Amino acid sequence: MAQLNNDQFSGNPRGAGDDPDPAVGALPRISTSEIKMGQLAEPEHHEEPTASELPLNTAVSASVAAAPASDPESRTGRVHTTDEGITLVPTRANPVARSLLAKMWISTSPPTQALDIVDRLQGTPYANPTVNKDQDASARRTLEFALDLGETLIRYGAGALEVETSIIAVTAALGLSYLDVDITNQSLHLNYSPPDAESYSILRVVRSSTANYAGLVLVHQLVSDIIAGGVSRSESAKRLKAIMRKPKPFPRWIVASGNAVFAAAFVLFIGGSWLGALVAMGSSSIVSQIGRYGARWRVPAFFTIAASTFVVTGIALVSYELHAPIDPALVVSGGILLLLPSGRFVSALQDAINGFPVTSVGRLFSAGLTYTAIVSGISTALVISSVLGWDSVDVHQIDKIAYPAWLLVILVAVAIIAGAVTEQSSVKLLLPTAGIAVGGYLIQLLCEYIGLGVRATPAVVATVIGFAARFAADKLHSPQLVIAAPAVMFLLPGLMIFRAMYSIVFDSSDMSSGLVEMFNAFAIMLSIAGGVVFGDTLCRPLTSSARRERRLIRRR
> What gap in Å lies between CA 512 and CA 508, rounded to an integer?
8
For residues 21 and 32, the answer to whether their CB atoms sit within 8 Å is: no
Element (H, E) at 253: helix 252-269
Number of Cβ atoms within 10 Å of the Cβ of 369: 15
> Is the pLDDT higher at 551 or at 201?
201
Is 206 within a domain?
yes
pLDDT at 63 over 50: no
b (16+ CB within 10 A) / e for 464-490: bbbbbbbbbbbebebbbbbbbbbbbbb
Residue 60's pLDDT is what? 43
The CA radius of gyration of the chain, in Å to the nearest whole number, is 39
> Is the pLDDT higher at 527 or at 551?
527
Is 556 within a domain?
no
Residue 19's pLDDT is what? 46
Q: pLDDT digits over 240-282, tens only?
A: 999 999 999 999 999 999 999 999 999 999 999 999 999 999 9
DSSP result, 176-229: --SEEEEEETTEEEEEE--TTS--EEEEEE-------HHHHHHHHHHHHHHHTS
Residue 82's pLDDT is what? 66
Same domain assignment for residues 515 and 368:
yes
Q: pLDDT digits over 324-342, tens only?
A: 888 888 898 888 888 888 7
Query: Of the ranges 199-213, 231-245, 538-552, which one carries the lowest mean pLDDT score?
Result: 538-552
Residue 89's pLDDT is what? 55
User: Mean pLDDT throughout 141-150?
Assistant: 93
Is 11 within a domain?
no
> Is the pLDDT higher at 495 or at 241?
241
Q: Residue 212 corresponds to which amino acid?
A: N
Is 311 within a domain?
yes
pLDDT at 24 over 70: no
Question: Helix 139-155 to helix 213-227 angle, to the nearest 10 degrees?
Answer: 150
Q: pLDDT digits over 394-428, tens only?
A: 777 778 899 999 999 999 999 999 999 999 999 99
User: Mean pLDDT throughout 69-76?
Assistant: 49
Phi-psi region of 246 (alpha: psi -120 to 50; beta: other; left: phi over 0): beta
Q: In this prediction, what percent of the chain has a pLDDT beyond 70? A: 74
Q: pLDDT digits over 3-21, tens only?
A: 444 444 444 444 444 444 5
Same domain assignment for residues 293 and 176:
no
Is 88 within a domain?
no
pLDDT at 221 over 90: yes
Residue 22's pLDDT is what? 47
Residue 243's pLDDT is what? 95
Residue 548's pLDDT is what? 58
Same domain assignment for residues 308 and 379:
yes
Is 481 within a domain?
yes
Helix (H, G, I), strand (E, B) or coil at 337: helix
Among residues 243, 271, 302, which one ends one of the domains? Answer: 243
Same domain assignment for residues 138 and 187:
yes
User: Which phi and psi (to 5°) does residue 444 adopt?
Assistant: -65, -45
Is 492 within a domain?
yes
Bridge partner list, 200:
192
Same domain assignment for residues 415 and 287:
yes
Query: Of the ranges 211-215, 278-282, 372-376, 481-485, which one carries the lowest mean pLDDT score?
Result: 372-376
Among residues 221, 243, 265, which one ends one of the domains? Answer: 243
Same domain assignment for residues 195 and 129:
yes
Same domain assignment for residues 140 and 261:
no
For residues 317 and 390, the answer to whether their CB atoms sit within 8 Å is: yes
371 confidence band (pLDDT: 50, 70, 90):
confident
Instruction: State CA 226 to chain mean position distance.
Output: 23
Same domain assignment for residues 312 and 185:
no
Give me the domain span that covers residue 471: 250-545
The closest of 304, 279, 277, 294 to 374, measured between CA atoms, is 304
Q: Burial, 279: exposed, middle or buried (Cβ in 10 Å; 0-12, 13-18, 19+)?
A: buried
pLDDT at 430 over 70: yes
Same domain assignment for residues 356 and 372:
yes
Same domain assignment for residues 235 and 277:
no
Query: Of the ranges 80-89, 346-355, 443-452, 506-515, which one carries the lowest mean pLDDT score?
Result: 80-89
Residue 98's pLDDT is what? 62
- DSSP character for 540? G
pLDDT at 522 over 50: yes
Same domain assignment for residues 256 and 177:
no
**Alpha helices (H) along 67-159:** 72-75, 95-105, 139-155
- DSSP character for 518? H
Among residues 176, 209, 243, which one ends one of the domains? Answer: 243
Average pLDDT taken over every residue of the chain: 80
350 confidence band (pLDDT: 50, 70, 90):
confident
Is 66 within a domain?
no
Number of Cβ atoms within 10 Å of the Cβ of 255: 21
Domain count, the chain: 2
Instruction: State CA 112 to chain mean position distance.
Output: 24
Same domain assignment for residues 284 and 187:
no
**Taking the C-alpha atoms of 162, 165, 171 and 172 in order, what is their torsion angle to the nearest 10 degrees?**
-150
